Amino acid sequence: MVMSRPRRKRGVLSLIFRRRSIRIFREARPSRDILELLVEAGQRAPCVYQSYTVVNITKPELRDKIYGLTEDNIVKQAPILLLLCLDVRRTRMLFDILERRHILARPPNPIEMVEAIFEAGLFAENLILAGEAIGYSSVILDWPLRLGGDLQNLLHIPEGVIPLFFICMGPPGENPPPRPRMPLELILMSDGYAEPKREQLLRYLEEASEKLAAEGYFMKYVGVRSTYMEYLAEKIRSDREMEVLEAEVSEFLRRNGLSI
């Protein structure tokens, strides 16, 4: 029997399709019960070894220091600031209990590391959707990938626990429109891979640029007059500064056990 198309305004589908990245939050003081609910919801995601840890950052002085590293107001303003980490350290300790000669004892560990990154993403998505269910919106920031060593020192995070992303959460202080996504024809394929055509990708970039320009997205959040295509081109441009950063991040990840 072929099922009819599910209605998007029901239950979990409603949460998923109404979700937006929110960068302006109303003031709130989330209780410990709310925080534990969100993290427990994250843990209900599919997992292998649960190789992740999340650090709740509450002290104003710590947030001020993180702002000094990022110059991003969200890290000070968000009612909840979580640092999602890949926790190779705890997983290795768990394996030590079970087997002296285990797979993490000798890198590289491509299977375990890819699984760990994947399940950290699943944890984050469950946590984010749980937030939507109780009226807490969110945005993910990739600063920790660039500032791993600084955050380890600031938050006394040991080697083997790798900062990945900030998850900023709270009651939304804005109601932005849906942001553009790639068309399904570029994402959903049947029985094999269909090579995308250049004109399809260009059309997506142009449509995304038009929609974000109509919202005034980059002026509102970044303070620059730029199109999506211009901003993305600048972000991905390879230059000497980016090469140095990439080398530093690669060495940091390797030193902390993320070896693929």
pLDDT band at 255 (very low <50, low <70, confident <90, very high): very high
Give the contacts of 37 (CB within 8 A, at least 6 positions apart). 130, 134
Burial zone of 218 (CB within 10 Å; 0-12 exposed, 13-18 middle, 19+ buried): middle
Q: Above 90 in pLDDT, residue 81?
A: yes
- Output the six-digit token pair for 232: 């993305």
Tokens read off for 227: 């199109």
Q: 49 with 104: CB under 8 angstroms? A: no
* Segment (H or E) for 140: strand 137-141
Give residue 246's pLDDT band: very low, low, confident or very high (50, 70, 90).
very high
The domain segmentation of the chain, as residue ranges, is 13-176
Kindly report the pTM of this predicted structure. Answer: 0.93
pLDDT of residue 8: 66
- Is the per-residue pLDDT at 4 higher than 90? no
Long-range contacts of 250-255 (CB under 8 A, 24+ apart): 252/148, 252/149, 252/162, 253/148, 253/162, 255/159
For 235, the 3-state DSSP assignment is helix
- Positive or negative, the CA dihedral 183, 187, 191, 195 is positive
Maximum CA pair distance of the chain?
59
Q: With a cut of 90, say whether residue 223 has pLDDT above it.
A: no
Coil vs helix vs strand at 14: helix
Which residues lie closer than 8 Å to 152 by C-beta, 6 or more apart?
Answer: 158, 159, 161, 163
- Kindly indicate the confidence band of residue 11, based on its pLDDT and cuts at 50, 70 and 90: confident
Which pLDDT score, from 0 to 100, does residue 40 have? 98
For residue 142, count CB atoms less than 10 angstroms from its CB and return exposed for 0-12, middle for 13-18, buried for 19 or more: exposed
The CATH code of the domain at 13-176 is 3.40.109.10
The chain-wide mean pLDDT, for the chain, equals 93
The structure tokens 């055509």 sit at 197
Q: What is the mean pLDDT of residues 137-155?
A: 96
DSSP at 180: P
pLDDT in tens, 96-140: 999 989 999 988 999 999 999 999 999 999 999 999 999 999 999
